[in-house]
C-alpha cells in the first residue's frame, strides 16, 4: 500500500501565522488555488479511495483535488493545541519560546492541549483501520501534524527532525510487501518550493 499524504491548502489563518489546531476554519483563496494546482497530480495517480479529516479546511481541499465523497475521520484531525488555538505563533514564542520549541519537538504540551504520543496513537490507529481494506494508493487528506506523526510512527523520524510540510503538498509512504515502511516522496508541490514553514 502507498499512503498519499496531502496537507490541506493554506487556511484562512495560515497567512497570519496563527496556530490552527482543531479550529474548524476554511481555506483562503490561495489555499483553494494550491489544491487546484495539485489536482492533476492526484488524478494521475488515481487513488483507490480517500480518507480525510472532517475539519472544513481539509474537506474543502478534498473538493479542490476532485474528491467527491471522502471517508471522513475525526481520528485524522490536527493535534489539539488547547489554549494556543488561534494565537499568533510569534506571540506564543515571545511568551514561551521553550514551550513552543518543545511542542514542535513533541515533548511539551500547550495548556489544555493534546500530548504528542496520544495524538500519534490516534492518527496511526485511523490509518491502521484503513489498511484493513486493500488499496494500492490510499489518498489521505489531512493536516501537517498528522503527516509528521505518521512519519514518526512508520519510519522513525522524530518531530524535532521534520520541518512542517507546505500547504497542499504531497508526501508518500510505501507500506507492506514484506519490507519496512519507506518514504517515497516528501513535501512535493508541482508549482514551486516552499521554504517558509514556521520553525
Residues paired with 4 in a beta bridge: 139, 172
Cβ neighbour number for residue 161 with a 10 Å cutoff: 11
| Residues linked to residue 3 through DSSP beta bridges, in sequence order | 138, 173
Residue with cell 473538493: 63
Task: Tell me the three cell numbers of residue 77.
Answer: 484531525
In this structure, is the dihedral angle defined by the CA atoms of residues 21, 22, 23 and 24, taken in order, positive or negative?
positive
- Whether 78 sits among the annotated catalytic residues: the reply is yes
Minimal CA–CA distance to 119: which of 69, 176, 76, 60? 76
Closest CA to 57 of 31, 36, 94, 89: 31
Q: Which of 8, 114, 130, 143 is catalytic?
A: 8
Contact 76, 130 (CB under 8 A): no
Of residues 78, 114, 130, 143, which has the active-site annotation?
Answer: 78
Q: Indicate which residues carry an active-site annotation.
A: 8, 78
Amino acid at each position: 500500500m502507498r499512503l498519499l499524504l496531502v496537507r490541506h491548502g493554506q487556511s484562512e489563518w495560515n497567512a497570519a501565522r496563527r496556530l490552527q489546531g482543531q479550529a474548524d476554519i476554511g481555506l483562503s483563496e490561495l489555499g483553494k488555488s494550491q489544491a487546484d494546482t495539485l489536482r492533476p497530480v492526484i488524478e494521475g495517480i488515481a487513488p483507490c479511495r480517500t480518507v480525510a479529516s472532517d475539519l472544513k479546511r481539509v474537506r474543502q481541499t478534498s473538493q479542490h483535488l476532485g474528491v467527491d465523497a471522502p471517508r471522513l475521520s475525526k481520528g485524522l484531525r490536527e493535534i489539539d493545541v488547547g489554549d494556543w488555538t488561534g494565537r499568533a505563533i510569534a506571540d506564543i514564542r515571545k511568551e514561551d519560546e521553550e514551550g513552543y520549541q518543545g511542542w514542535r519537538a513533541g515533548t511539551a504540551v500547550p495548556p489544555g492541549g493534546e500530548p504528542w504520543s496520544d495524538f500519534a496513537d490516534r492518527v496511526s490507529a485511523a490509518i491502521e483501520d484503513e489498511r484493513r481494506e486493500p488499496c494500492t494508493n490510499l489518498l489521505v487528506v489531512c493536516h501537517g501534524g498528522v503527516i509528521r506523526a505518521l512519519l514518526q510512527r512508520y519510519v522513525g523520524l522524530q518531530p524535532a527532525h521534520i520541518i512542517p510540510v507546505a500547504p497542499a503538498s504531497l508526501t508518500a509512504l510505501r507500506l507492506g510487501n514484506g519490507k519496512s515502511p519507506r518514504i517515497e516522496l516528501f513535501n512535493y508541490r508541482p508549482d514551486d518550493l516552499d521554504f517558509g514553514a514556521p520553525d
